[in-house]
Each structure stands twice: as structure tokens, then as C-alpha cells.
Amino acid sequence: MKYSSTVVWEKRPSETFVDNKYSRKHKWLFDGGVELIASASPQVVPLPFSYENAVDPEEAFVASLASCHMLFFLYFAARHKYIVESYVDHAEGVVGKNAEGKMAMVSVTLHPKIEFAGDNMPSMEQINHLHHLAHEECFISNSVKTNIQIVSS
């Protein structure tokens, strides 16, 4: 399996660039024609050089982990014949210094709220097992050193 995306940034004619006063706003292009506006986080690069109405790499990292986990959770729930009506996760990531003293996404906490329907309702133990399976199989979580926690409710 191979995946790709295209990242496009261009210097504005009015920008000098070498003075470090240039826009970090850029585009992410994905297959199927999806295009997102991206930027450095305003927490990292101050306005007006960042763009607050864009996705930043840190948010995308958290969303990628949460999305991968959710997709595997849904897969395992379906295999166990549980009907999932909705899945909402307000995931949070924390940037700080890692064990090597470098700035990194040191933790991501998933806060999934899942609604089930039908006669085959899972217990909390079964839900936690589905989360464990999802975490073990998620390609993204298997690719990073970040501490990932799942807080079920």
C-alpha cells in the first residue's frame, strides 16, 4: 500500500522571505480532489504569518490518530455484531519535550463517545476490548512513539 499527498506553498510577491516574515498558509491536496488550507499553528508562528482558519500539522496529527482508531473500532464492532449509531471523538494532543529533550507530540488522548443500538449491546469491558483491538491494529498509532490514551465514557 502506498499513499501520497501534495503540499503546495508559494511566496507572495510582497514578501522578502529571508526576513522570516512570510505567510505559512499553504494547501494540502489529496486524491479524489480534496483540498485543504493548512498553516503553521498560531501557537507556533504568530499571526499574521500563520493562518488561524486553517488546519495545522499538529491538529492533523491528532485527527489522523483519532480517525484511524475510529475506523478500526467500527470495523471490530461490526465484526462483533454491535450496531454503532454514532461515534464522536474530541481528541486532544499535547506538545512538549520528549525523552530526548526535543519538542514532540508527547501524548494524544482520545475521548470517544459511542452510541450503540439494537439488542446486542456491548458491556464496558467489551467496549474497552474493541478499543484495545483498534489501538493494536491502527496503522498510525503503530507508526509513532506518542503516548496514546483512550478515555471511554
Separation CA 94–CA 51 (nearest Å): 20
The pTM score is 0.91
pLDDT at 128: 96
Pairing of strands 103-110, 147-150: parallel
- pLDDT tens-digit readout, 94-135: 999 999 999 999 999 999 999 999 999 999 999 999 999 999
pLDDT at 152: 80
Separation CA 137–CA 147 (nearest Å): 15
pLDDT at 1: 87
Point out which residues pair with 83 in neighbouring strands: 117
Q: Which fold has domain 57-150?
A: GMP Synthetase; Chain A, domain 3 (3.30.300)
Within the chain, all domains assigned CATH 3.30.300.20 are found at 57-150
- The list of the chain residues with pLDDT below 50 reads none
